[in-house]
Structure 1
Amino acid sequence: MKELPQNYSRMGGYASILIGILFLIIPAIRFLSISIIGVSDIKELSNPMIMLPFISENPLIALLILIAFALAGCLIFVVLAVDERIRQHAPRRSRIARIVGFAVSPMILSVGVIGFLGIMELSRLYKIHVPGVGGAFIGIKTVVTGLALTAIVAIGIWLLLVNWSSLKSDKFPKPLVYAGLTFGLLHLFGLAPFIFIIDAIWFLCLGILLLKIRDQNEIGTG
């Protein structure tokens, strides 16, 4: 059976590990922002009178922009690497999984570009007292939330497809497959507070596995 090309395995492995690290950084930034602002209710993060002054004086949102771009790019390599592992065993499901996986990247980019860049511009307008900024902030926040939830569900569908396709093959370890199926279901239920943590665990394990496969291929062809 055809093995995964080494370039996909290597790039997919490193990309998956980076995604896992970024998924740990995102909630850390969120909790850090909450502690800096000093809010007691997470719903207050949607209050433009609280958030716009904070964003205008704090670089954390700019960091989230970079994270969004990095996530979108890395996910493409992970989708390609995983697709090569499951394509021969489940060609139809792998094709659907590939389409779903590729669709997530523009969603994440939209969250970064529309959401964070737009909100940063609103924070600048807020400082010079332009009217209507608060309403625009709520509108953009609603759009960003919708895109983010859609991306979360799409990643869940991708996890279910690739891990379901791997159940009857030896392409991935069974613990990783069962964890992926469980995490995929959690995505569909929208358990957002824990999503980033469980995704970090799965993508880190996947990245280590892909790099191990790459090393084994190099030994086998050496």
Structure 2
Amino acid sequence: MEEGEEVKLLGAWMSPFVNRVKWVLKLKGIRYEYLEQDLVNKSPLLLTSNPVYKRVPVLIHNGKPISESLFIIEYLDDTWKNNPILPQDPYQRAKARFWANFIEEKFSQVMRKVLSLEGEKQKKEVENANEALEILEGELKGKKFFGGDQTIGLVDIVLGVLPTWIGVIEEVACVKVFDPIKYPSLAKWMEDFLELPVIKESLPDKDKLLAYVHKIRIYMLTLAATK
């Protein structure tokens, strides 16, 4: 960290959105202080740093808080120019933002619904997830990473929820979403992505994550049953 630079990350070990920020911090070699947050009993620092959503991740740079993982990543990329995460070309930059937003809306949010539903409603969301995966398979075809053959970029980092969470959600929700035979390019991408040292070093413990996601599913189903 440069002299006078103070970087803190408020996070929670299980959050894929916090992981995104950790990956970028490591890719750029930014030294930071990590502050694990209790999301049940939220700290005054979290509540004052993100008073609107009251959730992680929050990056605090020299006392100034930035929330929401995509905005944090762009901020880090604009502030620390080494190892760029977004393309420099304006057109390619806009495309990367488009695909990042597509993944958020059409896959990440859908997988949360898969976890919280049962029966026909869950089946419909699995179909929606597969529609998104089919589109992403076509976009990735012929490339090692979405960011290119040599390095990962914004789209790879945002889609990092796929290899790190998909198996856990499938096991807990008793569904099959990802078929490596149907999506060979994505399957190879997942292997290559997980072999990157910066990713491998930051993965949550699977057993611990399984236990956590089980609790979340029970809570979601119980909440839905009371409505």
TM-score tier, shorter chain, comes to 0.3 to 0.5
State the structure with bigger RCO (CA 8 A, min sep 6), 1 or 2.
Answer: 1
The structure where helix makes up a greater share of residues is 1
The structure where strand makes up a greater share of residues is 2
TM-score of the superposed pair, with normalisation by structure 1: 0.33
Larger radius of gyration: 1
TM-score of the superposed pair, with normalisation by structure 2: 0.33
